[in-house]
């Protein structure tokens, strides 16, 4: 069971959270102007990375807030979590290597 650091409540076990899929996929400002192809990209197509993922979690059984996390999907090690709305942080190579370990 993962240990996840909620930016508001601190570290809690995974069962208190709901995973919200990949992060930083903003809903288009004007969906109706999207082509079918663009809309499908937004709705369904995912990077599904083997490596560092930016993903959303909701502290569903805690403070109920969504937040983002960077995690390495090869190791399930978290690099960091951060509040919704913040841009995806740049991560230095050493930290990435540590997460991949």
Partner 1 sequence: MQKFSALSLARKALGGHLGWTPQWRSVEPKPAYDIVIVGGGGHGLGTAYYLAKQHGLRNIAVIERGWLAGGNTARNTTIIRSNYLFNESSSYYEHSLKLWETLSQELNYNVMFSQRGCLMVAHTVHDVQVFKRHVHANRLNGIDNEWLSAEEAKAFCPPLNISPNIRYPVLGASLQRRAGTARHDAVAWGFARAASDMGVDIIENCEVTGILRGPGGEVRGVETTRGTIRAGKVGVSAAGHSSVVLGMAGVRLPLQSNPLQALVSEPVKPAFPTIVMSNTIHAYISQSDKGEMVIGAGTDSYVSYTQRGGLHIPAHTLEAICELFPMFRRLRMLRSWGGITDNTPDRSPITAKTPVPGLYVNCGWGTGGFKATPGAANLFAWTIAKNEPHPINAPFTIERFRDGVMIDEAAAAAVAH
Partner 2 sequence: MSDTMQVSRNGFTLVPAADRRRFVLQARPGTLDAAVRALGLAETPAMLAAATGGAVTALRLGPQEFLLLLDPAGAEDSLSALRAGLEGVAHSLVEVSDRQVGLDLSGALVEPALASLTSIDVAGPAFPVGMATRTLLGKADGVLWRTGPDRFRLEIWRSFAPYMSGLLNEAARDAVF
Partner 3 sequence: MSQAFRVPGRGRVDSARTVTFTFDGRRFQGQAGDTLASALLANGHHLMGRSFKYHRARGVVSAGSDEPNALVAVGSGPALQTPNLRATQVEVYEGLTAVSQNRFPCLQFDLGAVNTLAAPLLPAGFYYKTFMWPRSFWDRVYEPVIRRAAGLGVAPTAPDPDHYAFQYAHCDVLVAGAGPAGLAAALAAGRSGAQVILADETAEVGGSLLSDRTSRIDGRPAALWVADILAELAALPNVRVLTRCTAFNYGPHNMVALNQRLTEHLADPAPDMPRERLWQVRAKEVVLAAGALERPLVFEGNDRPGVMLASAAQTYLNRYGVACGKRAVIVTADDSAYRVALDLHAAGVTVAAIADLRPAPDSALMRAAQGAGLTVLPGTTIQRAHGSTRVHSVELARLLPDGSVGKGQHWRADLVLMSGGYTPSVHLFSQSRGKLAFDERLGVYIPGESAERERSAGACRGVYALADVLADGAAAGVAAAGAAGFAADAPSWAVDAADAPGRGGYAGALPRRGKGLLAMAFVDFQNDVTAKDVKLAVREGFRSIEHIKRYTTTGMATDQGKMSNVNALGIAADALGRPVEKVGLTTFRPPFTPVTFGAFASHARGDLFDPDRRTPIDPWARAQGAVFEDVSLWRRARYFPRGSEDMEAAVRRECLAVRGGVGIFDASTLGKIEVVGPDAATFMNRMYVNAWTKLGVGKCRYGLMCRENGFVYDDGVVGRIAQDRFHVTTTTGGAPGVLAMMEDYLQTEWPDLDVWLTSTTEEWAVIALQGPSARAVLAPLVDGLDISAEALPHMSLVEGTIGGVPMRLFRVSFTGELGFEINVPARQGRAVWEAIWDAGQAAGITPYGTETMHVLRAEKGYIIVGQETDGTATPDDAGCGWAVSKVKADFVGKRSLVLPAMQAPDRRQLVGLLTEAPWEVLEEGAQLVARPDEAIPMHVLGHVTSSYFSATLGRSIALAMVSGGRARVGETLHVPMEGRTIAVTVTKPVFYDVEGARLNV
Phi, psi of 69 (to 5 degrees): -140, 150
Segment near Zn ion (CB under 5 A); pick from 39-47, 54-62, 69-77, 82-90: 54-62
Residue bearing tokens 């930290």: 95
Each residue 13-32 as x (binds partner 2 by CB under 8 A) or -, in order, gives x-xx----------------
Q: Does 71 bind partner 1 (CB under 8 A)?
A: yes
Instruction: Find the binder of Zn ion among 62, 74, 91, 98 (CB under 5 A).
Output: 62
Taking CB within 5 to 8 Å according to partner kind, which of partner 2, Zn ion, partner 1, none is near residue 53?
partner 1
Closest by CA to 17, choosing from 61, 63, 70, is 61
| C-beta separation of 54 from 70 below 8 A | yes
- Between CA 50 and CA 89 the distance in angstroms is 18
62 binds partner 2 (CB under 8 A): yes
């Amino acid at each position: 069971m993962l240990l996840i650091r909620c930016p508001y409540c601190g570290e809690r076990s995974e069962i208190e959270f709901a995973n919200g899929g990949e992060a930083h996929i903003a809903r288009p400002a004007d969906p109706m102007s999207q082509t079918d192809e663009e809309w499908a990209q937004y709705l369904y197509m995912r990077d599904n990375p083997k490596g560092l993922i930016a993903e959303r979690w909701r502290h569903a059984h805690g403070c109920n807030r969504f937040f983002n996390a960077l995690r390495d999907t090869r190791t399930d090690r978290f690099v960091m979590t951060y509040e919704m709305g913040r841009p995806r942080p740049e991560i230095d190579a050493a930290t990435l290597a540590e997460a991949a370990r």
